[in-house]
Structure 1
Amino acid sequence: MEEKTFRNYEAPDVSVAVKEHYRKMRKNQTLDYVRHMHKKYLKFDKPMDLWEAMRHLNSLVDVSDPDLDLPNVQHLIQSAEAIREEGRPDWMQLTGLIHDLGKIMFLWGSDEDGTSQAEQWGMVGDVFVVGCKLPETCVYPEFNKLNPDMHNEAYNTPTGIYEEGCGIDNVDLAWGHDEYLYQVLKNHEGNKLPEEAMVMIRYHSFYPWHTGGSYKQLLNDKDAEYLEIIRDFNKYDLYTKSQKIYELDEVMDYYKPIAEKYLGKGPIYW
């Protein structure tokens, strides 16, 4: 499939729900909201086996995705299998398999804060930096003006509350599954995934940066390395989407030893 067939948000067949999702996301994802979500969700008090978490994604379809309407677990397996087929390292195969697992927050989420099956604006979709000006590279940039922070002089400049060249590790991104899984794994004692994997997990939805070229004033030298890592991963995250259906149980025999190698055998605390 040609790359131009993906992420076309102006295509006639893009659902009204996709656009409405981004309208809500842009309106509601403020700096205060993001800080509240960190306090609410980063308690790491919900033990769950990795494969149980994977099975829960059989119940979730990502409403922000204009390219795929299958349960999210299918996208994860498609990504992992494409990475495996090209003989990439086992840790990267596992990263492909788990990179969207943060979406299981819908299990204890709510409509009010956008982390439920019905309201996903706090869970999925392209993320952006909060606390500084929203760029035109955001999906549906016409919604930027709906964000209350863009009417606050402290937050609506190119650097906002941040120092120039601070690096993306030191900014707050819109809340979503990327940051949630990153923080969960960072807290997980058994995590032996390399730094590259953690970068892939944390920033794969940060399209205004890695694809749009925005936020140059915030970047540092480390971010140039991150960009290469993300662009490498992105082709497996984006261009492997298809209607091919996998059974999780059929691929578990292969991936389970890899998961145990890098994440251990015990539960993960969400």
Structure 2
Amino acid sequence: MDAKTFRNYEAVDVKAAVKEHYRKMRKNQTYDYVQGMHRKYLTFDKPMDLWEAMGHLNKLIDVSDPDLDLPNVQHLIQSAEAIRADDRPDWMQLTGLIHDLGKVMFLWGSDEDGTSQDEQWGMVGDVFVVGCELPDTCVYPEFNKLNPDMHDERYNTPTGIYEKGCGLDNLDLAWGHDEYLYQVLNNHEPNTLPDEAMVMIRYHSFYPWHTGGSYKHFLTEKDGEYLKLIKDFNKYDLYTKSQKVYELDEVRDYYQPIAEKYLGTGPIYW
């Protein structure tokens, strides 16, 4: 597909479900909701093998994606294979393979939380900062006014609860698969993925920042380096989507030694 055809949310054939997803996300993803999700999901008490987790994403189609309606594991393999084809470092290939793996939270999620197969607004989609004013660079900015925090003086100013220049790592983002996988891997003692990989995992869905140019008042010099990393990763995350279908077993022999190199051989605690 031509690059201009990706992420076109105004296209006439974009599913109504995509727009409804973002309406629910904007309405429900408040600062208090995000804190609750941190308490609920960051328990690290559910051991599961990496490849079992990958297999579960054969059952999940990302309702927020206007470009692809294949099971999510296909997007992961497509991303990894494109990174591999460009002969990028092995850690980046692995990052492509696992970057959406936080979506396995649907296994223990709920409709109420937006973390189930049917209700995904707490799991997938472009994220934004909670605890401060929502920018008009969010997808469907007309939904910003539905967020209760935008009617709360603690949260509806440009800085909200934060300080200027505090840096991305000190902001709370809308809850989703990025932050979940980042925190799971951060807690995974054998993890030796480089910092660059962890940045790619944590911020790849933060489009209002890395593509929309918002939140400049929070940024530090280090965040400028983050942006370069995300822009590099983004071309593999976004522009590799196609209808080509892989079998997970076809690629496992190649990626398993890389996974064991950086993540160890034991289970990951989700």
What TM-score range do you get, normalising by the shorter chain?
A: over 0.9
Query: In the alignment, which residue of structure 2 is the partner of 1:98?
Result: 98
Whether 2:141 is the aligned partner of 1:141: answer: yes
Write the deviation string for residues 99-127 of structure 1: whole angstroms up to 9, x where unpaired: 00000000000000000000000000000
Query: In the alignment, which residue of structure 2 is the partner of 1:15?
Result: 15
Write the deviation string for residues 161-195 of structure 1: whole angstroms up to 9, x where unpaired: 00000001001000000000000000001100000
Query: In the alignment, which residue of structure 2 is the partner of 1:165?
Result: 165
Q: Distance in 2 between matches of 1:54 and 1:2?
A: 28
Whether 2:149 is the aligned partner of 1:174: answer: no
Q: What are the residue-to-residue correspondences of 1:189-208 with 2, within 5 Å?
A: 189-208=189-208
Amino acid at match of 2:264: G
Write the deviation string for residues 52-96 of structure 1: whole angstroms up to 9, x where unpaired: 000000000000000000000000000000000000000000000
Which blocks of at least 5 consecutive residues in structure 2 are unaligned? Answer: none
Amino acid at match of 2:241: K
Q: Distance in 2 between matches of 1:125 and 1:91?
A: 25
Q: Distance in 2 between matches of 1:9 and 1:224?
A: 27
SS at match of 1:130: coil
Task: Note the C-alpha offset of 1:234.
Answer: 0.2
Task: Note the C-alpha offset of 1:3.
Answer: 1.4
Query: In the alignment, which residue of structure 1 is the partner of 2:38?
Result: 38
Amino acid at match of 1:249: D
Q: Would you identify which runs of 4 or more consecutive aligned residues in structure 1 move more than 3 Å?
A: none
Identical residues among aligned pairs (%): 85
Query: In the alignment, which residue of structure 1 is the partner of 2:155?
Result: 155
SS at match of 2:134: coil
Q: Distance in 2 between matches of 1:202 and 1:159?
A: 21
Whether 2:250 is the aligned partner of 1:229: answer: no
Amino acid at match of 1:70: L
Whether 2:54 is the aligned partner of 1:51: answer: no
Q: Distance in 1 between matches of 2:69 and 2:207?
A: 20
Task: Note the C-alpha offset of 1:154.
Answer: 1.1
Query: In the alignment, which residue of structure 2 is the partner of 1:28?
Result: 28
Query: In the alignment, which residue of structure 1 is the partner of 2:75?
Result: 75
Amino acid at match of 2:111: D
Q: What is the TM-score normalised by the length of structure 1?
A: 1.00
Amino acid at match of 1:147: N
Query: In the alignment, which residue of structure 1 is the partner of 2:66?
Result: 66
Write the deviation string for residues 222-253 of structure 1: whole angstroms up to 9, x where unpaired: 10000000000000000000000000000000
Query: In the alignment, which residue of structure 2 is the partner of 1:132?
Result: 132
Which blocks of at least 5 consecutive residues in structure 1 are unaligned? Answer: none
Query: In the alignment, which residue of structure 1 is the partner of 2:210?
Result: 210
Q: What is the TM-score normalised by the length of structure 2?
A: 1.00
Amino acid at match of 2:224: A
Task: Note the C-alpha offset of 1:2.
Answer: 2.1
Alignment length (residue pairs): 270
Whether 2:258 is the aligned partner of 1:258: answer: yes
SS at match of 1:174: coil
Q: Distance in 1 between matches of 2:220 and 2:3?
A: 29
Q: Distance in 2 between matches of 1:172 and 1:189?
A: 24
Q: Distance in 1 between matches of 2:184 and 2:136?
A: 31
Amino acid at match of 1:158: P
Q: Distance in 1 between matches of 2:227 and 2:134?
A: 20
Write the deviation string for residues 120-144 of structure 1: whole angstroms up to 9, x where unpaired: 0000000000000000000000000
State the Cα RMSD in Å. Answer: 0.3
